[in-house]
Amino acid sequence: MTNDEFIRIINYVENKTGIHLAEKRSLVTGRLDNFLVRNGYSSYTDYMDQVEQDVSGKLTEELVNTLTTNHTYFMREKEHFELFKNIVLPEIKEAKGKEKDLRIWCGASSTGEEPYTLAMIIKDFFSLESSAWDTKLLATDISTDVLRYAMKGEYTEEQIEPLPDSWKRRYFHKSTEPGKFMVVDELKSQVLYRQFNLLSPMPFKKPLQVVFLRNVLIYFEKDVKNDILRRIYECLEPGGYLFVGTTESVDRAAVPYRYVQPSVYRK
Ligand SMILES: C[S@@+](CC[C@H](N)C(=O)[O-])C[C@H]1O[C@@H](n2cnc3c(N)ncnc32)[C@H](O)[C@@H]1O
């Protein structure tokens, strides 16, 4: 990969996704070298010519799928889930009049561990009352590969290991694949998966109560990050919560969130 080719690829990806890869040359070559050989492209220039000319968008989708980092796991950053269960959900329940709906969005849901963790907490919390509430949550990601994975809902025994045994029993059943477990349909139906690019206009009609946007802001440059955070702010209801990753933060001089605790904010 020549320098010009590297710059062409990273500019293209940053333009489409916001993901800043200038300091990640070895990641880019590591992921794309094999991909190019496997798919019979003669060079990176040949490849990018085809990506840019492909009106179907399929080649761009494949490039984005290849260059996104999707690391996640069940119960990641557990302190957020404690706060969600003990403070946020009781507040939502208390505040509601006739409209018993949850408007919770998980904005970089990757392979599903985060939204399924939230769905299990919500199920437990509403328990017998859950039929009176619309308890579904929205989970989105830019990568179609991870969305397919999440919708399938099949995980190894090691992946579900951080979950309490009672949840493993209630929300998973053995897959036909040895050593793997499937999310039960009852839980799958609680999560609505959609592809969504955080650079696109926000699609929400009603104000959101809670947004989980964890471990994705680190991939963006400051201006892109602040722009996303500002647009999310507009979509939150007054008092609505924003959770970012525990190594991430919000620049409150740029966007007027109120600080709750590290990595947790409110409108
Ligand atoms: C490291 S994972 C974080 C997963 C999960 N939120 C967590 O904290 O474990 C980052 C996810 O952000 C997604 N992503 C990156 N850029 C995006 C964009 N512009 N719009 C939507 N999702 C994006 C990636 O596809 C990836 O699945």
Give average pLDDT by consecutive 10-residue segment, the chain, 267 residues.
97 98 96 92 96 97 96 97 97 81 96 98 88 91 98 98 97 96 97 98 96 98 98 97 97 96 97
Q: Is 255 close to ligand 1, i.e. is its CB under 6 Å away?
A: no
Cα–Cα distance measured from residue 24 to residue 4, given in angstroms and rounded to the nearest whole number: 15
Angle 84-90-94 from CA coordinates, rounded to 5°: 145
Cα–Cα distance measured from residue 229 to residue 83, given in angstroms and rounded to the nearest whole number: 21
Cα–Cα distance measured from residue 244 to residue 207, given in angstroms and rounded to the nearest whole number: 18
Q: Is 195 close to ligand 1, i.e. is its CB under 6 Å away?
A: no
What is the predicted pLDDT for the residue at 97?
A: 63
Q: What are the residue ranges spanned by the domains of the chain?
A: 3-67, 78-266
Nearest CA to ligand 1 atom 11: 108
Helices (H), 154-241: 157-160, 165-171, 185-188, 222-235
User: Could you identify the residue written with the tokens 């809902």?
Assistant: 153
Cα–Cα distance measured from residue 96 to residue 190, given in angstroms and rounded to the nearest whole number: 20
Q: Are strands 264-266 and 236-244 parallel, antiparallel or unpaired?
A: antiparallel
Cα–Cα distance measured from residue 85 to residue 120, given in angstroms and rounded to the nearest whole number: 10
Residue 220 CA: which ligand 1 atom is closest?
16
Q: Is 19 close to ligand 1, i.e. is its CB under 6 Å away?
A: yes
| CA-to-CA separations, 185 to 29, 33, 107, 152, 155, in angstroms, rounded | 39, 39, 22, 10, 14
Q: In b/e form, how buried is each residue of 160-179, taking b as 16+ CB within 10 angstroms?
A: beebeeebeebbbeebeeee
Q: Is 135 close to ligand 1, i.e. is its CB under 6 Å away?
A: no
pTM: 0.96
Cβ contact 214:245 at 8 Å: yes
Q: What length does the chain have?
A: 267
The answer regarding whether domain 78-266 maps to CATH 3.40.50.300 reads: no
